[in-house]
A and B are shown apart, each in its own frame.
Chain A
Amino acid sequence: MSNQPQVLTFPATHEGFETAFADLREWLDGSAVGTKAHFNAELVFEEIVTNIVRYGYAGGGDEPVAVELQQGPGSITMTFDDGGEPFDPTGKSDPELPKSIEEAKIGGLGLMLVRKAASDLSYERTDEGRNRFSVTIPAE
């Protein structure tokens, strides 16, 4: 059984995130993907959307965030579309991991987890001035 594509549209706020996160989980429950894909889809959504909410609109703006959910034969693709500051997550490298707790910095781990979960990532800044970031997750 394959899920119908769905678009979640919500304000770039804490409350918007929580509502959309619940909608995502409902969509995933209706899909036939395995436990790991379900977990990774939630992980990617959480990391990307909390980044957008926290940093994307620091310079102002109130355009909604849209997340397109699509289920393919062996994968789930989520496309995050926001009107915030230009930000290309594919252009970041993984942080250097600390070897001791004293030197551990707190940050940069979210995108690293996204990269580990994804089989494919792509980013474009559209002519309309929006970020479009697509993440494909194997549906194992």
Chain B
Amino acid sequence: MDMDISDMNDDLKKIVLSGRLDTPGVDQVETRFTAAIVPGGKSAIVDLSGVDFIASMGIRMFIAVARALSAKEANIALYAPQELVKEVFDNVSMGDIVPIAATEEEAVAAVSG
């Protein structure tokens, strides 16, 4: 599981995840992912185009971070999921609670709204 963090601007971080968000993958990345986003309290967009598998542990990780950010009045949006990863999100109506955008531009718009 790989993770790359950059600042889009002073108020927005971009995280690029790649690999598998199964239990071993989440174990590897969750602490770093949370620490990269939550303490700063800035909004974040997460590029999922390189994530080729996700299970409920991965969904839990995103919900936990989204909730922690929400308490700091910041937002998170996920974008560009692969088709089968998108189906997993759809099956649990993830888009109702965390924005899932097709493109980076849409993700930026979703967290800036």
Q: Is the CB of B88 within 8 A of A43?
A: yes
A116 cross-chain contacts in B, Cβ below 8 A: 91
B53 cross-chain contacts in A, Cβ below 8 A: 39, 42-43
Counting contact residues on chain A (CB < 8 A from B), the size range is: 20 to 34
B24 cross-chain contacts in A, Cβ below 8 A: 18, 21
Q: Is the CB of B97 within 8 A of A39?
A: no
Distance from B92 Cβ to chain A, minimum over Cβ atoms (Å): 5
Number of B positions contacting A (CB below 8 A): 22
- A66-80 residues with Cβ-Cβ distance < 8 A to B are none
Q: Is the CB of B84 within 8 A of A101?
A: no
A58 cross-chain contacts in B, Cβ below 8 A: none
Q: Give the dominant DSSP class at A's interface.
A: helix
A17 at the A/B interface (Cβ < 8 Å)? Answer: yes
- Quick one: CB contact mask for A25-44 with B, threshold 8 Å, 1 for yes? 00000000001100100110
- Quick one: CB contact mask for A103-140 with B, threshold 8 Å, 1 for yes? 01011011011001000000000000000000000000
Closest to A116 in B: B91
Q: Is the CB of A109 within 8 A of B96?
A: no
| C-alpha spacing A97/B66, complex, angstroms | 16
Q: Is the CB of B84 within 8 A of A39?
A: yes
Q: Give the dominant DSSP class at B's interface.
A: helix
B103 at the A/B interface (Cβ < 8 Å)? Answer: no
Q: Is the CB of A43 within 8 A of B64?
A: no
A59 at the A/B interface (Cβ < 8 Å)? Answer: no
B97 cross-chain contacts in A, Cβ below 8 A: 98-101, 104
- Quick one: CB contact mask for B56-72 with A, threshold 8 Å, 1 for yes? 11011001101100100
Chain B interfacial positions (CB closer than 8 Å to A) = 22-24, 53, 55-57, 59-60, 63-64, 66-67, 70, 84, 88, 91-93, 96-98
List 29 A-B pairs, Cβ < 8 Å: A21-B22, A21-B24, A35-B84, A39-B53, A42-B22, A42-B55, A43-B53, A43-B88, A46-B22, A46-B23, A46-B57, A50-B23, A50-B57, A97-B93, A97-B96, A98-B96, A98-B97, A100-B97, A101-B66, A101-B67, A101-B97, A101-B98, A102-B67, A104-B66, A104-B67, A106-B63, A109-B59, A109-B92, A110-B56
